[in-house]
Structure 1
């Protein structure tokens, strides 16, 4: 089987309020204002597909949110999204590989984040056969082509894959591609799924 894991809130806890908190501290713009103005709009999507540079993305978001930040301040806040690794999931990934399954990560991410989390959490790369990142593929979930590309690269049919993600749209996209898909709603979702399998 091929097991496909999303990154944020599946393998690593993330919290965008931490990002906004850092930006608020630097800019003195009230956190409540930033929470209202922050959206994952087209610039966000273009950045995740690798179509927008980090600097251009920072400028665009700062303009949209009226944020007087330097690129360094923007970056410091952007990296604050990562909270902590989920060791239970890392353990499961290792066990699956020991059992002969293929394990990959498929993440909508951006170059700024990939300069941070692989060094911060080397356990992720150690637990996966391959890591597929949206900005390297020029595609992002839930676009059907991103799932097809992973299946083709790994040599599996959709019926031989299971996908874990915390975003309902991404789950729908994978289901439309014929992949068994599990919506991760909390830290217990992935461990519970495999506990039931072994019953």
Structure 2
């Protein structure tokens, strides 16, 4: 029988928080006088990956997005709009809090400096995680093997000693390819069942 994992690597978006990208495009589009679909189209060409790699700071993201939308928004207004599409996943957070001290917890997220700054104070449980591997801070993004290896190194675990949860199949597959026990995150109830199956 496989022992329970020593470490859990958890995604942020659509695991600990929900992000409604449609709401984001509606909000930004309305401010720029554009239909949501046009806002989405224009932003699909902006530097999402550069922001996630930490190559764009807060001001760089604002300039990039505003330039693509053809609108000038002051930083305070832009920052609020840019993070307006997040809601906490209230059903899953108590389960994660219950894992503190029982297993090493690592956040592994593709995110940018503005979203990280917005969400950290709203998720006090993150202060009790063993490590936060944020793409914008480490310069690596999922599904690159190096970001998973960084997470394992921080908690001193071999791949087989860790389990990983993400809502995107390609990121789960990348973890599995390294020997980590990857699981597709769907709902809080399914997560509960998956943890029980892992012996947690």
Q: Which portions of structure 1, spanning 4 or more consecutive aligned residues, are displaced by more than 6 angstroms?
A: none
The runs of 5 or more residues in structure 2 that have no matched partner are 1-5
Q: Which residue of 2 aligns with 1:192?
A: 193
**Counterpart selection for 1:37 from 38, 42, 48:** 42
> Residue 107 of structure 1: CA displacement?
1.0
Deviations 1:159-193, CA, capped at 9 Å, x for gaps: 00000011122112211211111111334331231
User: Which consecutive residues of structure 1, in runs of 5 or more, have no partner in the other structure?
Assistant: none
Comparing 86-95 and 159-168, the one that deviates more: 86-95
Count how many residue pairs are aligned between Structure 1 and Structure 2: 194
For 1:55 and 1:97, how far apart are their aligned partners in 2?
A: 35
Q: Name the SS for the 2:157 alignment partner.
A: coil
Residues 38 and 186 of structure 1, relative CA distance in 2, 3 Å threshold: farther
> What is the root-mean-square deviation in Å for CA atoms of aligned residues?
2.2
Taking structure 1 as reference, are residues 170 and 71 closer, same or farther at Cα in structure 2, changes over 3 Å only?
Answer: farther
Find the aligned partners of 1:13 and 1:45 in 2 and give their Cα distance: 20
2:15 corresponds to: 10
Q: How does 1:133-148 map to 2 (within 5 A)?
A: 133-148=134-149
Q: 1:50·1:135 contact (CA, 8 Å) conserved in 2?
A: yes
Counterparts of 2:120 and 2:150, CA distance in 1: 22
The TM-score, its normalising length taken from structure 1, stands at 0.86
Deviation of 1:91 after TM superposition, in Å, equals 2.3
Match of 1:76 in 2: 80
Task: Say whether the 8 Å CA contact 1:22–1:76 is kept in structure 2.
Answer: no
Residue 83 and residue 97 in structure 1: after superposition, are their counterparts in 2 closer, same or farther (change >3 A)? closer
